[in-house]
Structure 1
Amino acid sequence: MNRTWLILVSGLLISACSESGTSGTAGSGGTGGAGGSAVAYPLLDCDPLVPEFCGYPFPSNVYTVEDSSTASGRRVSFGDELLRNNDSTPWDYSDGFSAGSPILTYLPRATDAVFGGVTDIDQSLSAASPTMILDAQTGDLIPHFAQVDTQALQLPGAKPEESSSMLRPVVRLRDNARYIVAFRNVTDPEGAAIAPSEAFAALRDGTASNDESVETRRELYEDIFEKIEAKGWSRDEIQIAWDFNTASDENNTRWLLHMRDTAFELIGEDGPEYTITSVEESTDDGAIDPTNIAFRIFGTFRVPLFMTSPEAGSLLLLDENEMPMINEETPWADIPFEALIPQSATAENPAATIEYGHGLFGEKEQIQSGHFRSFMNEYNYAFFGADLQGMSDPDEEAVTAALTAGKFSSVQTMWDRLHQGFLNHLVMLRMMKTSFARDPMFGQYIKADETYYHGISQGGIMGAVILATSADIDRGALGVMGQPYSFLLFRSVDFEPFRVVIRLFYPDYRTDQLLIGMAQMLWDRVEPNGYSHHIVENNLPGVNPKEVLMRDAIGDHQVLTFAGQIMARTMKAPHLTTGLRDVWGLDTVESTESGSFYTEYDFGLPGQPYCNVPMTMCSDPHGDLRKREAARKQLDEFLRNGTGTNYCAPGDADEQQVTALGVCSYPLLSGCEPDETDAQDLCIPDELP
């Protein structure tokens, strides 16, 4: 990520835009509500329920209008003041908000004194909970945790007056559904309950108001209060409440599925065209690894192009129906790939094949890593890799340039290009099973009927989209993964350089949170939150059910383990125990004979922060899990047989032996200093609200 900082310098002198907390004039948002009663909404730019900050509370139906052309019957319509200086185009296609959105509001001088936090999910379902997320149609309470924005309270640059109050659902919300949010009994540093805003008090107490948006919401709020009170809350204790609708499933998946179906129709049953451009054999001078790798193959395969150009920084081409269309001038793109065939593969004993998903802004060459090469030869797998366009090495520069232009909406190129990137991976999988499997030279060394997906870090995260949309594999393994991105980012060391740039132009901490919440709406089209609920069951059209291995490293500096648990809950996977801890909402099992499972490995770190800051203590275990011999055995067994086994045992072949049978802990790898004893030390605020 160091290159990022070189790119940043050119943008530092661009002036930051101003922040405003004024309210807009109410327009008509029409009626709607994907569950519960049909209610009317005003269309607002800024909501006087939170007069201190335009855009809160978020998400909210007051930022939508009726639209009969969408699957949900509504369309998002952000106003200019909420958008700051951003272009609305990326959000104009949305028919609701993300089912993995952070839920954001501002209560002046709020503390987390009454919040149970990420370790007390049960609080959110209890009668005494200070917060509520309610499914307006089913009446179900949604498990979640509440917190304040710790980053706004820490030096350097602490601004406690900008600390948001935030809710994070720990399960994926339903698509095209209406949710009601409420806070009560939240206190300031002196322990006093925070008073509601003037606008909300008028709605709650039935008092007169000169604000047009208050008067137009009287009927709406009677519906909201009725549903909240049905859960045992007293109306007079509520400090703020509102509702929002999640986007439809069609909103999230239609572009990529349309591209997939169009591409495969053009490609035909014989599979995609490919060209081998060069081959390195183990006998060649300078061969990468003669002991493990027989052939290193470089080539390209042809994919229909739906972008304005094949290069980083391009955008999706949409037709008059708002659907992706093929580039008329450049209808096909030649996508580079690399394949490694191990020495263990022979015509009599061909290798199973793995499509590998690389790490953050990485590249296809990551399949060359030494631990992969030895795994390929020991267990007889051939690896194929291609860049995930949109979040590959060339895209990092394009994304950073967009951010340094001071216009967050310019990051649209990343979300757009990820559609093409996923299509490329789907086509490469098809190539591995069809045209390349018939290659006159190398086809004899691979098994077309044993094709799997394996991704780590970004590849583990984004692999969920491939599993949900491909009909060419039955199993996949996702390493150090999680969802959604809006939960991961503020808790990842990888996001820090990008966050610094965002804050140059949007210096209010609340704007940081709002922008990432808005970004989640766009990410849902190209990340697990829009697809993971379709992997195991409720499969998308033309796709078979999958079995998935999910693994996380406790204390990971880059990918938060709690986010991995959300992905596992979304797939209703059991927790294959490693003798470390229970996981909320997951059934614990000792082993599995079939199906998906989630498991965790420990590397001796002192936990992980419960607040929204990255883990920075000790050594980062992010890259350690994949190298453990117990993990390698587990991966091979799962891919081959679909079974889940805990191979952790003292005295195994691993150079860092585990502490006890069935306890997957490697404390010798912690790298902790003597004073690094509690990750919660990272959550101590420098200033209070």
Structure 2
Amino acid sequence: MTRTRRSPLLVLAVALGLLLTQLAAPATATPAVSTATITGIVRDTGGNPLSGVDVLVHSTGFDPATSTVTGIDGRYEVEVPPGTYRIRFEVPGGRTVWYLNGSTYAEADPIELTAGEQFAAQDVTIEAGAAIAGHVRGPGGSPVAGATVWGFGPGDLWLGRARTTTDTDGRYVLDGLAELPYRIAVVPPAGLGLKVVWHDAVTPVAPGTTDDIDVALAAAATITGTVTDQEGRALSGVSVTAWSPIDTWVAGAGASTGPDGTYVIEGLSPGEYRINFRRADKTGRWSGPAMTRALSTPVVITGTETVAGIDSALTPAFAYTAVSDLVVPDSGICDPIASGCHLPFPSNRFTRRDPSTPTGLRVSIDPASMPSNTAGVPVDPTHWNELDGFSPSAAMLLQVPDVDLVRSGAAPVTDPARSLDSDSPVVLLDATTGERLAHWVELDSYAEPGTVPILFIRPTQALREGHRIVVGVRGLVRSDGTAVQPTAAFAAYRDLVRTADVNIEDRRPQMERVFGDLAAAGVARGNLQFAWDFTIASTQALSGRMLHIRDDAFARLGGHAPSFTVDYDQPSTTEGIAREIRGTYDVPMYLTGTGQPGSEFQLGPDGLPQYTGTYTANFRCIIPATASADDPAGVGIYGHGLLGTAGQIYAPRRVAVQDNRAFCGTDLIGMAEEDVPNVINILKNISTFNTLADRLQQGHLNTLFLGRLLVAPDGFASNPAFQDGGRPLIDDDLVYYGISQGGIMG
């Protein structure tokens, strides 16, 4: 066998190569240790291991960073990140010791640990603890089971270091305690109407029990209420808390609303409490209502009473861009989005929800907001507040100081079609249909010098009953060409700035609806200077009473003509008129008293006028000379002028002759000559305006009955004064003819 001799240099080269290869190869990583370990044993004073002891490792004086429990051999082991720690040992029952044998976090020995360190703690000895025991009884001395008993040691703030629950005999035992002073707090079970009671500090002595530390619970006050949304729907899960003057970070008592939106806060001692309502998806409220605690209204407890009706209606939470401390004086009774308490007007700001009306609303004008007359008597809004909306024919009113309507490009009375242009500064929108409405804009030409004139927005046609109308105003400029600035309240709505004014915030959902309607019509939110909405009253609200008395009165006729008498039947001296006939007729009455000027409807429980007797109405008729039994005259009702009488019956004499038509008229009571004194009184005290409107509706009924007399066979045509040789001089071809007031009312 031949051996190959290796060169020493070759062997050296191979060895060096292998060495370099190993050096170049990546080293195997050794895992870095990122935690430290604490181990130890807990024993009793006899040296026996204690199992079930809680071992809590603190990096601060508050919640522990980690924890474990000793095993059957008394041993424990915990892993923690590097840092400084103090260890607390807590045996069942509440006895607490800090390492080494301290009684508080501050007295405990700090343990500084580095990564990977194995810290073997000295054995901890826990002496047999002391105990405090006693009974908890109610106001009548009966035991209270299920009460929570806390032992608060020195330095304990929110939670006591020992806790237990009373048994069926009301007995409690707080054991495992250190020889420290403990304040005993007893929290009664919910539903008993009892309040939390504190017992004076007790210092137990180990290893015994300090017994007979009895606590008598006292009756407490209760606050109850209901929380809904703005539509009146119950809100569950709302946190309702009661804050006393000394409560800073945590409320002293609280509850949550149930499925029906109700809550009960029990255990309240005498004092003042401000109630907070909060849910994550809603904008919080305080009692009052108010947006802040400082502005809230306190609920005062004087004894053990139940204060009910502390309700709240929460609005949705919005994506606010900022928070402001804005509070507008009188925002609870006035509209803060423009100048003037009731401006803009009409506005749904002055309505409230009422599901009993066709519109779902009811006008709600606060009496405190109303102006006074020269005698200092404020206007009473009671009758306005009976309606479920506003007039279909009234103009919208606004005040804008120094506005220049020409520079602004507002539609004038001569060109209302301009109001429908896309850039019109005023947008009038029927939100029920989505239709833009034509209008014109003008200033009050009768405004006194030095005052801000009213700006009128006048629709070209009556608005539809029951419809919701939205007004948007943008692009108005002053006489110097600068833009009109919105009020702080309107800017807060437009720019989503949360205010401290609960009245402003309560209206925010409605304003968001307005902005949404305008956006759908192409009106940008950010350009608006004013915007609001209002609802037109329903047909029922506007005409319901008149239709009711009409239907009720005609039902009483049973298809016949009203009873009547002819008191005057004489030839006429007026050319073309053959006869003048006067008399009276009976009409069912729905007014108070005798139906005299100043009377009003007698309303029933349903808000409708009640029948109160018979009203005797007057009539005057003229028969044209052209009428004959062979060619009877048609008939017409004549409506007299402003505050006039039926004595104006000769006004249509030319029509009577030309058309061969007999005319009859009656005093349109309510706005007849005899009502002039009442009209003057109304001008002095507008609160009595309803007397004019109510009596005027009776006047309309009188006019309708006059029409029945003209067309019914047993009416005027049956009376000799309206006959020739026993044959009627009139037929049933009825028309209406009115002048001035009569034309309007017709």
Residue 124 of structure 1 corresponds to 419
Q: Is residue 2:68 matched to residue 1:68? A: no
Give the stretch that moved more between structures: 444-453 or 102-111.
444-453
Cα deviation, 1:560-594, whole Å, max 9, x if unaligned, reads: xxxxxxxxxxxxxxxxxxxxxxxxxxxxxxxxxxx
Q: Per-residue deviation at 1:261?
A: 1.0
Give the deviation of 1:179 after TM superposition. 1.2
Match in the other structure for 1:49: 337
The answer as to 2:370 corresponding to 1:93 is no
The residue number in structure 2 matching 1:409 is 687
Displacement after TM superposition at 1:30 (Å): 4.7
1:123 CA displacement: 1.4
Contact 1:110–1:148 (8 Å) recurs in 2:
no
In structure 2, the residue matched to 1:321 is: 606
Q: In the TM superposition, what are the counterparts of 1:420-569 in structure 2 within 5 Å?
A: 420-434=698-712, 435-443=715-723, 444-463=727-746
The residue aligned with 1:366 is: 648
1:317 partner SS: coil
Give deviations 1:341-379, integer Å, cap 9, x for gaps: 11111111111111011111111111123xx32332232
Q: Is the 8 Å Cα contact of residues 669 and 698 (structure 2) preserved in structure 1? A: yes
Q: Which one has a larger percent strand, Structure 1 or Structure 2? A: 2
Preserved contact between residue 331 and residue 504 of structure 2 (Cα < 8 Å): no
Q: Which amino acid aligns with 2:602?
A: L
- Given that 2:668 and 2:699 are in contact with CA atoms closer than 8 Å, whether structure 1 keeps it comes out as yes
Aligned to 1:397: 677
C-alpha displacement at 1:57, in angstroms?
1.2
Paired with 1:48 and 1:376, the residues of 2 have a C-alpha distance of 57
CA distance in 2 between counterparts of 1:446 and 1:175 reads 43
Q: Deviation of residue 389 (structure 1)? A: 0.8
* Counterpart amino acid of residue 683 in structure 2: L
- 1:31 positional shift: 4.2
Cα distance in 1 between the residues matched to 2:395 and 2:646: 32
Give the structure 2 partner of residue 261 of structure 1.
551
Q: For residue 112 of structure 1, what is the amino acid of its counterpart?
A: L
Cα drift, residue 77 of structure 1? 1.1
Equivalent positions of 1:9-24 (< 5 A) are: none
Secondary structure class of the residue paired with 2:681:
helix
1:346 aligns with 2:346: no
Once the two structures are TM-superposed, the CA of residue 44 in structure 1 deviates from its matched residue by 4.2
**Residue type at the aligned position of 2:709:** M
CA separation in 2, counterparts of 1:453 and 1:268? 24
Q: Is the 8 A contact 2:627 2:730 kept in 1?
A: no
Q: 1:142 Cα deviation (Å)?
A: 0.9
Could you tell me how far 1:412 is from its partner in structure 2? Answer: 1.6
CA separation in 2, counterparts of 1:77 and 1:44? Answer: 12
Q: Which runs of 5+ in 2 are unaligned?
A: 1-227, 233-313, 317-329, 372-377
- Correspondence for 2:531: 241
Distance (Å, rounded) in 1 between the aligned partners of 2:643 and 2:551: 27
Residues 411, 439 of structure 2: 8 Å contact kept: no
Q: 1:445 to 1:30 in 2, by over 3 A?
A: farther
Alpha-carbon separation, structure 2, partners of 1:93 and 1:433: 37
- 1:218 lines up with 2:508 in the alignment: yes
Residues in 1 aligned to 2:418 and 2:479: alpha-carbon distance in whole angstroms: 21
From the superposition, tell whether residues 304 and 141 of structure 1 become closer, same or farther in structure 2 (CA, over 3 Å): same
Pairing of 1:147-226 with structure 2 (within 5 A): 147-152=442-447, 157-159=448-450, 161-226=451-516
Shift of 1:397: 2.0
Residue number in structure 2 paired with 1:300:
584
Q: Secondary structure at the match of 1:116?
A: coil
Q: Kindly provide the amino acid, as one letter, of the partner of residue 581 in structure 2.
A: I
Q: Determine if contact 1:59/1:104 at 8 Å carries over to the other structure.
A: yes
SS of alignment partner, residue 183 of structure 1: strand
Q: Where do 1:580-599 residues align within 5 Å?
A: none
More moved, 253-262 vs 99-108: 99-108
Amino acid at match of 1:439: N
SS of 1:320's equivalent? coil
Match of 2:395 in 1: 102
Paired position in structure 2 for 1:79: 366
Tell me the secondary structure at the aligned position of residue 203 of structure 1: helix
| TM-aligned CA deviation for residue 294 of structure 1 | 1.4
Superposed CA deviations along residues 116-160 of structure 1, whole A, max 9, x for unmatched, are: 2111111111101000111112211111111222211xxxx423x
TM-score by length of 2: 0.53
Following superposition, the deviation at residue 162 of structure 1 comes to 2.4
2-structure distance, mates of 1:47, 1:199: 9
Tell me how far apart the structure 2 counterparts of residues 400 and 257 of structure 1 sit (CA, whole Å).
Answer: 28
Shift of 1:86: 1.1
Deviation at 1:43? Answer: 9.3
Q: Give the superposition deviation at 1:170.
A: 0.8
In 2, Cα distance between the equivalents of 1:186 and 1:54?
A: 21
SS at match of 2:498: coil
Q: Which of structures 1 and 2 has the bigger CA Rg?
A: 2
Asked if the contact 1:315–1:413 (Cα under 8 Å) also holds between the matched residues in 2, the reply is yes
Partner SS, residue 333 of structure 1: strand
Among candidates 375, 385, 390, match of residue 655 of structure 2: 375
Code of the residue aligned with 2:705 in structure 1: it is V
CA distance in 2, matches of 1:442, 1:409: 45
How far apart, in 1, do the equivalents of 2:485 and 2:392 lie? 29
In structure 2, the partner of 1:384 is: 664
Residues 593-632 of structure 1: CA distance to partner in whole angstroms, max 9, x if unpaired? xxxxxxxxxxxxxxxxxxxxxxxxxxxxxxxxxxxxxxxx
TM-score, normalised by the number of residues in structure 1: 0.57
Q: Distance in 1 between matches of 2:229 and 2:379?
A: 21
Give the SS at the match of 1:217: helix
Is contact 1:46-1:81 (8 Å) kept? no
1:385 corresponds to which letter in structure 2?
A: G
In the alignment, the residues of structure 1 paired with residue 462 and residue 331 of structure 2 have an alpha-carbon distance, to the nearest angstrom, of 27
Shift of 1:322: 0.4
Q: Structure 2: how far apart are the matches of 1:260 and 1:110?
A: 48
The higher relative CO (CA closer than 8 Å, separation ≥ 6) is in: 1
Give the CA deviation at 1:245. Answer: 1.1
Q: Deviations over 1:653-677 (max 9, x none)?
A: xxxxxxxxxxxxxxxxxxxxxxxxx
Question: 1:65 offset after TM fit, Å?
Answer: 1.2
Q: Is 1:276 equivalent to 2:566 in the alignment?
A: yes
Q: How far is 1:220 from its partner? A: 2.4
